[in-house]
Amino acid sequence: MQQVSFKVVDRSGAERAISTDVNRLTIAGWAGRDQAAIEHHIAELAELGVKRPSTTPCFYRLGSELLTQAEQIDVVGTKSSGEAECVLVHSSAGLLVTVGSDHTDREVEAYGVTVSKQVCPKPVARDAWRFEDVADHWDQLELRAYAIANGERRVYQQGSVASLLPAADLLARAPLAQGAAMFCGTLAVQGGIVGMVDGDALELELHDPVLNRTLRHAYRVRALPVVE
């Protein structure tokens, strides 16, 4: 079980601080709405040796202790990278949405997707919105990620969540009981998937153009040595 804390901002701008226990974590994989986009992401990962999924979407169950709101995570080696995603959390205050990163070891992913996800922390933001405040315009939300390496910042991912399965669809397929959290799928990266080395960072954004507000989180990687 993992405890996370959020500043929850409703559509009127009112803020409320909450802490909630998460005892179940699910990652929705291959959750694109457009089959061509799914094939593009499958092709990206195939270049890294990752096998095609048997079905799409699929839901990976992970340990909830992987959730973190820290600004730095420890990973082993330099073959891991993150992915910006909407994250649903069924908290003690109701269903929330925030932004997070499904950080994954790409080398391990070549032989076991579930294992590759389990070996890396899953960063999430400290701010959140009420799901009910964005449900009626979910497809207009925008995901962005910026990769920072060698002092340079570049767009890593950018696009509308309309290219992914709607949150309501995912919830129908994999209902969230109180205390559960789910990462809702990601977008194709720009420039290909590149492993993060020591000191590299990823900035995450979930933007709501209807209510004109943005959730943000950033984290840095500390790459631990691989001892043979």
Lowest mean pLDDT segment, chosen from 7-11, 45-49, 155-159: 45-49
By three-state DSSP, how is residue 114 classified? helix
Q: What's the rounded Cα separation, in Å, for the pair 30 and 52?
A: 10
Residue 53 pLDDT class (50, 70, 90 cuts)? confident
Task: For the full predicted model, state whether its pTM sits above 0.85.
Answer: yes
Give the pLDDT of residue 86. Answer: 98
Q: What is the pLDDT, as a whole number, of residue 192? A: 83
Q: Are 101 and 43 in contact (CB under 8 A)?
A: no
Residues 148-171 pLDDT 10s: 999 899 999 999 999 999 999 999
Q: Is 66's pLDDT higher than 90? A: yes
The mean pLDDT value of the chain amounts to 93
Supply the pLDDT for residue 43.
Answer: 78
Burial of 33 (0-12, 13-18, 19+ CB in 10 A): middle
pLDDT, residue 146, reads 98
Task: Among 3.30.360.10, 3.90.850.10, 3.40.50.970, 1.10.260.40, name the CATH number for the domain at 2-222.
Answer: 3.90.850.10
Find out whether 86 and 167 touch, Cβ atoms under 8 Å.
Answer: yes
Residue 108: strand, helix, or coil: helix
* The pLDDT of residue 175 is above 80: yes
Q: Which of 114, 97, 96 is nearest to 105 (CA)?
A: 114
Can you tell me the mean pLDDT for 79-94? 96
pLDDT at residue 178 in the model: 96
50 or 152: whose pLDDT is higher?
152
User: Taking the domains of the chain in order of start, what are their residue ranges?
Assistant: 2-222
Give the model confidence (pLDDT) of 93-119 as tens digits. 999 999 999 999 989 988 888 999 999
Helix (H) or strand (E) holding 44: helix 35-46
Tokens of 61: 């169950």
